[in-house]
Structure 1
Amino acid sequence: MKSPAGLLLSAIELDRDSAVPLYRQLYLQIRKQILGGKLQGGVRLPSTRTLSKELALSRITILNAFDQLIAEGFLASRTGAGTYVGDEWENRGARDAEAEEPPPRLSDLSQSMLSLRSDHFRGVSYTDWDPATPTSFLPSHSTYDSFPLAVWRRLMNRHLLKPTKSMLGYGELQGLQALRTAIADYVFDARGIDCKVEQVVIVSGAQQAFNLLAMLLLNPQDRAWMEDPGHIAARIALQAQGAQVVPLPIDEQGIDIAQGLAECPDARLVFTTPSRQHPLGVTMSYGRRQALIDWATQQQSWIIEDDCDSEFRYQGRLLPALCAMDRMTRVIYVGTFSKVLFPALRLGYVILPQALVEPFCTLRAVMDRSPPTLLQATTADFMSEGHFLSHIRRMRSLYQARQQALVEQLQRQLGDFFTLTPVDAGMHLIAWLPANLEDDQVARDLARHNIHTYALSDYCLAHRLPPALLMGFAGTPEKLAQTRVEALARALGELGYLTQAD
């Protein structure tokens, strides 16, 4: 009669056609039985000779599996007495079966089990949309089918074929000098910013810049002006460092500086998007820009300028960047390649006052290193050889046509539901909803119909504005505008919103 261990081990099934070696299969199955409590601590295993005959395996195969199990503590070899299941696994299965509650899932963790800082990130989802969803109006979605991949591949292969030590190493902490030089030349020509190459630091996208700047410049309980509605992820970066955010409304000239001076004149910094206010699209007036710089100079405060979507202006004259007007070095300029090239590139840049370069890079060294040198080198060539500006010009024309097509369809099919205002810049427009609706609920309901957009209220702290949806147009080709708006209209009808608006 076989022992319990013999019965269990004889039930092992080995796949002799598998690419997994037989010793590895045996090791995994014995380990599984021990962890599951079927082979309990102290149980003696059959001899290798017996197992070799029973499993039709060579003794070398069995010894290899046993050696691995002994090394990991699952088995113990006793000289002259055989091999036993390790004592630490005794009654493990029984203990697991008697457990009153299953271990907590991550989603069940109470806030007390996490840091206080983590509470600021609640409500920010990274799984709320499917990239393959055909009906997406998310503002962050650009077009990828028009990117010059052949050019990009050629430039990248140039470096791959002859990799240098610097290309394969950790890279420069400030970022590849060739890319920083290309950026300095570009912002001088396009945005009027006269900076030195030494002031440019390459980061892994604008969001990393916001987090690093918040860590560098803010102490807990410092107050910071924030546009309201404003950049969600930037606001969270400030709050995560313990800052008290002071929401300031937006009017036709941009952020309301007068209210900021009345509520909190000694704020440590202000976060602003002057070229195209995110998300409303307003351009900050010259007077407001100068007033903001004057305030920061007097208070010795900082201005973080996020120049988001500045490349995509379809009409009108673009004012120089706020940073270009700053003669007192209070403005920190943040740019990114995520939308103008492609998000997976994960490259952005910060233009810092000279005094902040060293402390910023010191902090950066602790947090992470420079982005992949290969991608930096490819981007540098893409800019210096003229492909970058050509791509921007093509995208401006393409996005302008896509906005026009989408607006025409929205007005034709849903003109009685949405109030629309075409935009002069950026990648999304605001679709104002009937006043009796809640935009966050509308967005959630549409998402259940696989139609994705963002609610304006998500960007607000004070909720002064009527309900609206942010409708991205950059990712909707002209020929698909009609069918996508039809899907949107059908979903709104099935949800009963079109009836509610009557």
Structure 2
Amino acid sequence: MKIPGGMLLTGIELDRSSAMPLYRQLYLQVRKQILSGRLPGGTRLPSTRTLCKELGLSRITLLNAFDQLTAEGFLASRTGAGTFVGEDWEGRAAVASAPRKPPRLSSLSQAVHSLRSEHFSGVSYNAWAPDCPTSFLPSHPAYDAFPMPAWKRLMNRHLRKPSKDQLGYGELKGLQRLREAIVEYVFDARGIECSVDQVVITSGAQQAFNLLGMLLLNPGDGVWMEDPGHIAARIAFQALGCRLVPLRIDEQGLDVQQGLRECPDACLAFTTPSRQHPLGTTMSHVRRQELIDWAGRSQSWIVEDDCDSEFRYVGRTLPALYSLDAGERVIYVGTFSKVLYPSLRLGYVILPEALVEPFCAIRAVMDRSPSTLHQATTADFMQDGHFLGHIRRMRNLYQARQSALLEALQRELAGFLSVTPAEAGLHMIGWLPEGCDDDALARGLAEQRIFTYALRDYCIRHYLPPGLLLGFAAIPEGQAARRVEELAQALRALGWRL
């Protein structure tokens, strides 16, 4: 027989102010001690009289807890001997005290884990006061300017009369009305001619990158990547075991000739030609044709990410790379995260016809389409004319917000940051003094509750001067001066002389 379980009394802590009944608290704590091995199988518990006295409980409370533990096999009552921990829990102490081994993960999971980035851990908004901290994070739209009344009205239209289509699993490619609206929009705005069947709705661009990588790439395949370039796509392809080939960005965009020298047999090229992310360069016509010609000759693929080209403040937007491709080697990825809001989790892929069926096959294995309710609301938002009006309003708003922030930065930090206006997108680049560690600076600013990203995060090879990405879309004009003042104070606190 095991020694009496007197240790039970020292391990029980009851909260009498809690809304949870005392018998339930007792049940959970005894159960936890047995599962952890602190009370091994066969251990005799103190008498109910002792427990009631020491814990200050009524006998009915104690019996309610013990009855449940007995019914679940944690305790066993022996007539004339007392209450014991069930014999089935024998040896539990050895298991509980053994050092825990790391979990056995797949090669893909280990790769993703090793490549994890702070960009994907997100920023918690729980403790954010309305005016603190200061966020210069890129890719954050103006949440305060989103037309919520119109959005709510459109969503309620479907909530009032829910149908099987909206409450069911949804179409594999996504809601047809939304795909039809996308086909019309990309034709007018981006010069893309495609059929509804070529459009597949995804849970944002990130899911599209992962699915395309699974569809087109094998471990060891070469992938041309813009450097600096899109972090989410880079990690998606790298996690699959692909060999990334970083190509520099010059005034014409992606250096195709470098790719031909270093890896002419690459299976895929990833590019953001309309507005290079993060530098903001627009790929020239010559480079676009070079890239398409290479893909046609080598039977390789081009993934064109068009993340925030809707917001152009200078000149006209060039047609999408997809619209120039007669050989059907370009795959177009779009998203609603920047133009509407990120948590909507809606993006889309426009595929060459030959890839539609295999892409959908992989999609069916991975998941279904996103929320049909949100797809239906987005389709209404586009078809009822709200979408284009929203883009026009946001373009004007962002241009004004960029100007206000730029003026404040040049006034307060001209000797430290070199900033020029962005021709498109939601952020500017603030170039730092030579020798400054932009990654360390971004981490230091975060400790001061000033949030931004270092340009180094986007680089595979470090050949550019140090810089910070300064998002302006979420900073109202009237707050720009104050936000820059807070940035300057944080820099001084980190030891910089401004």
Q: TM-score, normalised on structure 1?
A: 0.89
What does residue range 124-143 of structure 1 map to in structure 2 within 5 Å?
A: 124-127=118-121, 129-131=123-125, 132=128, 133-143=132-142
Residue 254 of structure 1 pairs with residue 267 of structure 2: no
User: Could you tell me how far 1:262 is from its partner in structure 2?
Assistant: 1.7
Residue 358 (structure 1) aligns with: 357
Question: Residue by residue, what CA displacement relative to the aligned partner does 1:332-387 show, whole Å, maximum 9, x if unpaired?
Answer: 00000111111110110000111111111111111111111111111111111011
SS in 2 for 1:431: strand
Residue 173 (structure 2) aligns with: 174
Query: CA 1:486–1:110 in 2, change beyond 3 Å: closer, same or farther?
Result: farther
Residue 438 (structure 2) aligns with: 439
User: Could you tell me how far 1:431 is from its partner in structure 2?
Assistant: 1.1
SS in 1 for 2:70: helix
SS in 2 for 1:214: helix
Query: CA 1:95–1:248 in 2, change beyond 3 Å: closer, same or farther?
Result: closer
Aligned counterparts of 2:10 and 2:441: Cα–Cα separation in 1: 60
Residue 74 (structure 2) aligns with: 74
Query: CA 1:9–1:346 in 2, change beyond 3 Å: closer, same or farther?
Result: same
Residue 329 of structure 1 pairs with residue 322 of structure 2: no
Mean CA deviation greater in 266-275 or 49-58:
49-58
Residue 58 (structure 2) aligns with: 56
Question: Residue by residue, what CA displacement relative to the aligned partner does 1:234-286 show, whole Å, maximum 9, x if unpaired?
Answer: 11111111111111111111111111112211110100000000011011111
Residue 486 of structure 1 pairs with residue 485 of structure 2: yes
Query: CA 1:74–1:264 in 2, change beyond 3 Å: closer, same or farther?
Result: same
User: Could you tell me how far 1:194 is from its partner in structure 2?
Assistant: 0.8
Aligned counterparts of 2:201 and 2:134: Cα–Cα separation in 1: 34
What is the identity, as a one-letter code, of the residue corresponding to 1:136?
A: S
Aligned counterparts of 2:238 and 2:6: Cα–Cα separation in 1: 61
Question: Residue by residue, what CA displacement relative to the aligned partner does 1:123-163 show, whole Å, maximum 9, x if unpaired?
Answer: 44545744335311111222111101111111111111111
Aligned counterparts of 1:114 and 1:250: Cα–Cα separation in 2: 30
Residue 373 (structure 2) aligns with: 374
Q: Is the CA contact 2:4–2:46 (under 8 Å) kept in the aligned structure 1? A: no
Aligned counterparts of 1:332 and 1:249: Cα–Cα separation in 2: 22
What is the identity, as a one-letter code, of the residue corresponding to 2:171?
A: E
Q: Is the CA contact 1:10–1:55 (under 8 Å) kept in the aligned structure 2? A: no
User: Could you tell me how far 1:201 is from its partner in structure 2?
Assistant: 0.4
Residue 285 (structure 1) aligns with: 284
Aligned counterparts of 2:104 and 2:438: Cα–Cα separation in 1: 29
Equivalent residue pairs, number: 489
Residue 182 (structure 2) aligns with: 183
Q: Is the CA contact 2:37–2:95 (under 8 Å) kept in the aligned structure 1? A: no
Query: CA 1:43–1:415 in 2, change beyond 3 Å: closer, same or farther?
Result: closer
User: Could you tell me how far 1:170 is from its partner in structure 2?
Assistant: 0.9
Residue 31 (structure 1) aligns with: 31
Q: Is the CA contact 1:120–1:236 (under 8 Å) kept in the aligned structure 2? A: no
SS in 1 for 2:144: coil
Aligned counterparts of 1:214 and 1:434: Cα–Cα separation in 2: 38
What is the identity, as a one-letter code, of the residue corresponding to 2:86?
A: G
User: Could you tell me how far 1:39 is from its partner in structure 2?
Assistant: 4.5
Is there any run of 5+ residues in structure 1 with no aligned partner, and where?
none
User: Could you tell me how far 1:295 is from its partner in structure 2?
Assistant: 1.2
User: Could you tell me how far 1:445 is from its partner in structure 2?
Assistant: 1.8
Residue 117 of structure 1 pairs with residue 111 of structure 2: yes
Aligned counterparts of 1:117 and 1:17: Cα–Cα separation in 2: 47
Aligned counterparts of 2:6 and 2:405: Cα–Cα separation in 1: 71
Query: CA 1:120–1:284 in 2, change beyond 3 Å: closer, same or farther?
Result: farther
Query: CA 1:176–1:113 in 2, change beyond 3 Å: closer, same or farther?
Result: closer
Residue 43 (structure 2) aligns with: 43
Q: Is the CA contact 2:311–2:424 (under 8 Å) kept in the aligned structure 1? A: yes
Mean CA deviation greater in 16-25 or 136-145:
16-25
Mean CA deviation greater in 117-126 or 244-253:
117-126
Mean CA deviation greater in 86-95 or 290-299:
86-95
User: Could you tell me how far 1:321 is from its partner in structure 2?
Assistant: 0.6
User: Could you tell me how far 1:41 is from its partner in structure 2?
Assistant: 2.7
Aligned counterparts of 1:10 and 1:406: Cα–Cα separation in 2: 60
What is the identity, as a one-letter code, of the residue corresponding to 1:438?
A: D
User: Could you tell me how far 1:57 is from its partner in structure 2?
Assistant: 4.3
User: Could you tell me how far 1:84 is from its partner in structure 2?
Assistant: 2.4
What does residue range 389-404 of structure 1 map to in structure 2 within 5 Å?
A: 389-404=388-403
What is the identity, as a one-letter code, of the residue corresponding to 1:306?
A: D
Aligned counterparts of 1:438 and 1:18: Cα–Cα separation in 2: 50
Mean CA deviation greater in 432-441 or 234-243:
432-441
Aligned counterparts of 1:122 and 1:314: Cα–Cα separation in 2: 34
Query: CA 1:236–1:488 in 2, change beyond 3 Å: closer, same or farther?
Result: same
What is the identity, as a one-letter code, of the residue corresponding to 1:283?
A: T
SS in 1 for 2:290: helix
SS in 2 for 1:275: coil
What does residue range 156-175 of structure 1 map to in structure 2 within 5 Å?
A: 156-175=155-174
Aligned counterparts of 1:413 and 1:110: Cα–Cα separation in 2: 52
User: Could you tell me how far 1:77 is from its partner in structure 2?
Assistant: 4.8
Mean CA deviation greater in 326-335 or 83-92:
83-92
User: Could you tell me how far 1:75 is from its partner in structure 2?
Assistant: 1.5
Q: Is the CA contact 1:203–1:209 (under 8 Å) kept in the aligned structure 2? A: yes
SS in 1 for 2:145: coil
User: Could you tell me how far 1:492 is from its partner in structure 2?
Assistant: 1.8
Question: Residue by residue, what CA displacement relative to the aligned partner does 1:447-476 show, whole Å, maximum 9, x if unpaired?
Answer: 221111111121111212111111111111
User: Could you tell me how far 1:110 is from its partner in structure 2?
Assistant: 11
SS in 2 for 1:178: helix
What is the identity, as a one-letter code, of the residue corresponding to 2:326?
A: R
Aligned counterparts of 1:39 and 1:22: Cα–Cα separation in 2: 20
Query: CA 1:161–1:48 in 2, change beyond 3 Å: closer, same or farther?
Result: farther
What is the identity, as a one-letter code, of the residue corresponding to 1:291?
A: E
Mean CA deviation greater in 4-13 or 169-178:
4-13
Aligned counterparts of 1:110 and 1:467: Cα–Cα separation in 2: 39
Aligned counterparts of 2:381 and 2:257: Cα–Cα separation in 1: 43
Query: CA 1:327–1:7 in 2, change beyond 3 Å: closer, same or farther?
Result: closer
Residue 411 (structure 1) aligns with: 410
Q: For the aligned residues, what is the CA RMSD?
A: 3.0
Query: CA 1:462–1:22 in 2, change beyond 3 Å: closer, same or farther?
Result: closer
Is there any run of 5+ residues in structure 2 with no aligned partner, and where?
none
What does residue range 197-216 of structure 1 map to in structure 2 within 5 Å?
A: 197-216=196-215
Q: Is the CA contact 2:4–2:45 (under 8 Å) kept in the aligned structure 1? A: no
Question: Residue by residue, what CA displacement relative to the aligned partner does 1:56-103 show, whole Å, maximum 9, x if unpaired?
Answer: 344xx766544532344312355887642112445756886x76x6x5
Query: CA 1:160–1:129 in 2, change beyond 3 Å: closer, same or farther?
Result: closer
Query: CA 1:83–1:476 in 2, change beyond 3 Å: closer, same or farther?
Result: same
Q: Is the CA contact 2:135–2:452 (under 8 Å) kept in the aligned structure 1? A: yes
SS in 2 for 1:271: strand
Query: CA 1:321–1:92 in 2, change beyond 3 Å: closer, same or farther?
Result: same
Aligned counterparts of 2:11 and 2:242: Cα–Cα separation in 1: 62
What is the identity, as a one-letter code, of the residue corresponding to 2:155?
A: M
Aligned counterparts of 1:207 and 1:304: Cα–Cα separation in 2: 13
Q: Is the CA contact 2:48–2:59 (under 8 Å) kept in the aligned structure 1? A: no
Query: CA 1:193–1:36 in 2, change beyond 3 Å: closer, same or farther?
Result: closer
Mean CA deviation greater in 290-299 or 490-499:
490-499
